[in-house]
Amino acid sequence: MSKQRIAVIPGDGIGPEITEATISILEAAGFQAEWVYLEAGLGAVDKGKPPVPQETIDAIRDIGTALKGPTTTPSGGGHSSANVTLRKALDLFANVRPARVLPGVKTVFGDRNLDLIIVRENTEDLYAGIEFMPQKDTALAIKVITREGSERLCKYALVMAREQGRKRVTAVHKANIMKMADGMFLDSFYRVAKEFPEIKCDDIIVDNCCMQLVTKPEQFDVLVTENLYGDIISDLCAGLVGGLGLAPGANIGENCAVFEAVHGSAPDIAGKGVANPTALLMSSIMMLRHLGRHDIADKIANSIMRVCSDGKCLTIDLGGKASTNEYKVEVIGQLA
Ligand code: NAI
Ligand code: MG
Residues 203 and 155 in one domain: yes
The CATH number assigned to the domain holding 231 equals 3.40.718.10
Q: Does residue 77 surpass a pLDDT of 90?
A: no
pLDDT per position as a tens digit, 249-281: 999 999 999 999 999 999 999 999 999 999 999
Question: Domain residues for 225?
Answer: 101-245
Candidate list 231, 299, 317, 327, residue with the active-site label: 231
The strand pair at 138-141 and 131-135 is best described as: antiparallel
Active site residue 231: yes
- Low-confidence winner among 71-80, 250-259, 294-303 (lowest mean pLDDT): 71-80
The larger pLDDT score, comparing residue 102 to residue 233, is at 233
Q: Is there an atom of ligand 1 within 6 Å of 246 CB?
A: no
In the 8-state DSSP scheme, what is residue 135?
A: E
- Choose one of 213, 229, 245: the last residue of a domain: 245
Question: Distances from the Cα of 165 to the Cαs of 192, 256, 283, in angstroms?
Answer: 18, 24, 21
Q: How far apart are CA 227 and CA 119, in angstroms?
A: 9
Q: How far apart are CA 153 and CA 237, in angstroms?
A: 20
Q: Is there an atom of ligand 1 within 6 Å of 269 CB?
A: yes
Q: Is there an atom of ligand 1 within 6 Å of 15 CB?
A: no
- The atom number, within ligand 1, closest to the CA of 268 reads 11
- For ligand 1, atom 36, name the residue with the nearest CA: 264
Q: Is there an atom of ligand 1 within 6 Å of 238 CB?
A: no
Residues 137 and 186 in one domain: yes
Q: Which ligand is nearest to the CA of 236?
A: 2
- The atom number, within ligand 1, closest to the CA of 276 reads 19
Beta bridge mates, 205: 173
Active site residue 37: no
Q: Is there an atom of ligand 1 within 6 Å of 244 CB?
A: yes
**First-to-last CA distance in the chain?**
25
In the 8-state DSSP scheme, what is residue 168?
A: E
Helix (H) or strand (E) holding 121: strand 115-121
CA nearest to 167, candidates 217, 202, 213: 202
Q: How far apart are CA 136 and CA 315, in angstroms?
A: 48
Q: Name the band, by pLDDT with cuts 50, 70 and 90, for residue 1.
A: low
Residues 196 and 112 in one domain: yes
Residues 212 and 333 in one domain: no
Beta bridge mates, 200: 168
Total structural domains in the chain?
2
pTM of the complete model: 0.95
